[in-house]
Structure 1
């Protein structure tokens, strides 16, 4: 196996996970290479855009109904800014502890493990916390082709 830092592997695996779903749903993905505004990637459909902050975790499989993900205060406040004119989401991709288990490939297909989830940051209020703010990402908000389509339709004003 290669020597790429595990943090970079998790970051780019989570982006690839969302890219696979987005392209299957018919949406373009723009990767933001310099994260000035808390946005790692944008989902696009012509002039319509949704901003996304990507995270990846390999916590042991949890039994709770949500993932509590701690965002630094700056990023949290950028994404939850009530003045935003574009919806913002936190996407968290959960992977197995062992990197060797993240992907399996067979004649039936390429399988990315484990699962991705989303939380609307636009629905939250900015925080005055000094260092970080925890975001509850409900496990019922699974990232799928259908859920990405739903997020984009909602951004368009429909649902």
Structure 2
């Protein structure tokens, strides 16, 4: 049986995988997490905007949220994790996905005759407009404001991938 922290994190990543499947996208993951990327999500094949556009994502979870003025103040990234997502120096666009999960694993999912329900909801944010930290410390946390309007759905996930088909290459 997974410990509580790993169980919550796995559910968050599985939540994103289900949305990717629902959106007709494919996902993969590196065999070792060296770059702060949990999942690569791509649209297979040719698209009007390019061949197999993709995004890289870091998935984090929270069981308690306190929305403030339309944002979720997320403090679950240390400075090293933040720096692996911040700035515009990436060939493949990167996003932070924050999945709000129930406080107990027995509430993560529910099955009824009308279907499977996954709880609660995911959000996304790009940190390309934030500066990486020069000397990041894994012991210090960095606050990230995640807009509550950036709800992660099958459609919004598909749009994130498709809209990045020809993202500008950093110079």
* TM-score normalised by L of structure 1: 0.89
Return the offset for 1:63.
Answer: 4.1
Match of 2:154 in 1: 145
Deviates more, 1:73-82 or 1:110-119: 73-82
**Residue 46 (structure 2) pairs with residue 48 (structure 1):** no
Contact 1:127 1:133 in 2 (8 A): no
1:23-46 CA distance string (max 9 Å, x none): 111110112342100101110123
Contact 2:87 2:129 in 1 (8 A): no
Match of 1:111 in 2: 117
Q: Distance in 2 between matches of 1:122 and 1:153?
A: 17
**Residue 17 (structure 2) pairs with residue 19 (structure 1):** yes
- The counterpart of 2:132, out of the listed 100, 118, 126, is 126
Q: Helix, strand or coil: the match of 1:14?
A: helix
Return the offset for 1:22.
Answer: 0.6
Aligned length: 155
Q: Helix, strand or coil: the match of 2:151?
A: coil
Deviates more, 1:83-92 or 1:24-33: 24-33
Q: After TM superposition, where is structure 1 displaced by more than 4 Å over at least 4 residues in a row?
A: none
Consecutive unaligned residues of structure 1, counting only runs of 5 or more, are none
The structure, 1 or 2, with the larger RCO (C-alpha pairs under 8 Å, 6+ apart) is 2
Match of 2:83 in 1: 77
Q: Distance in 1 between matches of 2:145 and 2:130?
A: 11
Q: Helix, strand or coil: the match of 1:80?
A: coil
Contact 1:33 1:40 in 2 (8 A): no
RMSD (Å), alpha carbons: 1.7
Contact 1:89 1:121 in 2 (8 A): yes
